[in-house]
Amino acid sequence: MMTTPFEAFSFAKRIPSTPSIGSTTVTKPDHIHLSFGFAAPHLFPIEELSQAAYEAVSLHGRTALQYSGSGGPRKILEWIQNRSLVHGIQAELPQILVTYGSTQGIDIAARILLDPGDHVWVESPSFFSALQAFRAAEAVITSFPIDEDGLRVDLVENALLEARRQNKPIPKFVYTMPTYHNPGGVTLTTERRARLAELAETYNFFIVEDDAYSELNFTGNKYPPLYTLLPGRVIYLNTFSKIIGPGLRLGWMIADRRVIDKARLLNLGGSIGVFTQEILAQLLDRLAFQEHVDQLSQHYHKQRDIMAEAIKSSFGDHVTFHLPEGGFYIWLRFGEAVNTSDFLREAAERGVSFVDGKSFFAKPEGYHYARLCFSYVSEEQILRGVNILADAYFAYEEQRLFGVTKQRHL
């Protein structure tokens, strides 16, 4: 019956044309996924969680399975409130919105702050799913570099001055990962945080602070969340993905109550998975959280050291990187002429995956970077994986510098 061709329909322009990365199709069991920004599965609190799941359903099943008002179980909100205090964040319960992971938090922030054509300023590199969300909101994305101390706030400031002078658009918001940046691994200094908050205040834009990794702290160094510096203009996002498990798809947003009210309007009257929230509430009740998170941090700290050592011994001076104070990632910088996308497939065939640099940039750039993740894999896999990756790289280098003109990796 269908005679009108599919192509005759014009879909919304807002749909990005390229998929966000973040999943892979490789399923070989011995493949080493240095690409996955995943939690270490052996540290999931499975025992406590299976108990929690059983009890949540048998004790609270009839409410857990029902629709609830937009708030969700109060216990989770209170847990978030208390844990936030540890990081200096004071928030009333109505300022906290539980989201389907911080990915949804980013999406909601974009949808409430942006009209099509509005400007968003991001770091380069940035988190690919965030870039995808901003594209879906039809934003104009402008990138600012990071260095060892995080976002180059001085360049943001210059651009703002310039924009003001030339009557060009000020961003609706700056999206930043100030602590243990993904993929950069860097952390924004306290001074730069203060300056960025001042700029947001002066120029009347929001900061979307993506704080997914802050609990995974290897050094004990503390930095004030941007939220604490300018609560009225910061939308703070965090997630249970890195501290409990991403499969829960639960995260949270903290912001001015009026921002949260707008976010709720987008929630279309349905609250976020009460069922999963009840289970999580039970889990948080029985989990010694500080101990749990200390254990995670210790583990990831060790993994970072192993990876850093392996990189040094396998790559020598072919790469540089910042040793992250926390989080999941090491961001390798190769020589300018290197294009890491060009040995992605070679590496995969040899049994290792990583994410090539260009995936983290809004524009075509960043080719000479690669992101390695030390969280998901075992020690042994890190050692073997980095080794194999180096082999793939050196084979590519040889080809590039001395090889026949016919490229093997197109």
Ligand X SMILES: Cc1ncc(COP(=O)(O)O)c(C=O)c1O
Residues that bind ligand X (CB under 6 A): 37, 101-103, 127, 177, 182, 210, 212, 239, 241, 246, 251, 270
Contact status: 272 vs a copy of itself (CB under 8 A): yes
Q: Which is nearer to ligand X, 103 or 381 (CB)?
A: 103
In sign, the C-alpha dihedral spanning 74, 77, 83, 86 is negative
DSSP states of 127-145: -HHHHHHHHHTTPEEEEEE
Strands (E), 132-286: 140-147, 150-151, 173-176, 206-210, 234-239, 251-254
Does the footprint of a copy of itself cover residue 62 (CB under 8 A)? yes
- Whole-number minimum distance, CB 206 to a copy of itself, in Å? 7
- Selected binder of a copy of itself within 136, 140, 159, 163 (CB under 8 A): 136
Select from 49-57, 149-157, 160-168, 211-219 the region that touches a copy of itself (CB under 8 A): 49-57
User: In the bound complex, which residue of the shown chain has the CB atom lying closest to ligand X?
Assistant: 101
Under rule CB under 8 A, residue 38 binds a copy of itself? yes
Query: Judged by CB under 8 A, which of 32, 34, 35, 49 binds a copy of itself?
Result: 49
Determine contact, residues 352/34, Cβ cutoff 8 Å. Answer: yes
Contacted entry of a copy of itself, ligand X, none for residue 210, CB cut-off 5 to 8 Å set by kind? ligand X
Q: How many residues bind a copy of itself (CB under 8 A)?
A: 99
Counting contacts by CB under 8 A, is residue 233 touching a copy of itself? yes
Between 249 and 338, CB nearer to ligand X: 249
Task: Give min distance, CB of 328 to a copy of itself, in A.
Answer: 12
Question: By C-beta, is 70 or 241 nearer to ligand X?
Answer: 241
**Other CB atoms within 10 Å distance of the CB of residue 251:** 26
CA–CA gap between residue 142 and residue 120 (Å, rounded): 6
Among 32, 34, 39, 287, binds a copy of itself (CB under 8 A): 39
Residue closer to ligand X (CB basis): 178 or 314: 178
Residue 251 interaction partner, one of ligand X, a copy of itself, none, beta carbon < 5-8 Å per kind: ligand X
Instruction: Indicate whether 276 belongs to the interface with a copy of itself (CB under 8 A).
Output: yes
Q: Is the dihedral of CA 243, 246, 249, 251 positive or negative?
A: positive
Q: Which of 31, 57, 163, 190 touches a copy of itself (CB under 8 A)?
A: 57
- In the three-class reduction of DSSP (H, G, I as helix; E, B as strand; rest coil), residue 30 is classed as coil
For residue 141, which of 208, 213, 230, 211 has the smallest C-alpha distance? 208
Question: With DSSP H G I counted as helix, E B as strand and the rest as coil, what are the percentages for the chain, rounded to 5?
Answer: 45, 15, 40
Report the distance separating Cα 389 and Cα 314, nearest Å. Answer: 9
Polymer length in residues for the chain? 410
* Exposed / middle / buried, residue 129 (Cβ in 10 Å: 0-12, 13-18, 19+): middle
Q: Which one of ligand X, a copy of itself, none is in contact with 206 (Cβ closer than 5 to 8 A by kind)?
A: a copy of itself
Reading the block at residue 87, the tokens are 């990081």
Among 78, 149, 201, 391, binds a copy of itself (CB under 8 A): 201
Distance CA 44, CA 335 (A): 38
Nearer to a copy of itself, 24 or 82 (CB): 24
Residue 8 binds a copy of itself (CB under 8 A):
yes
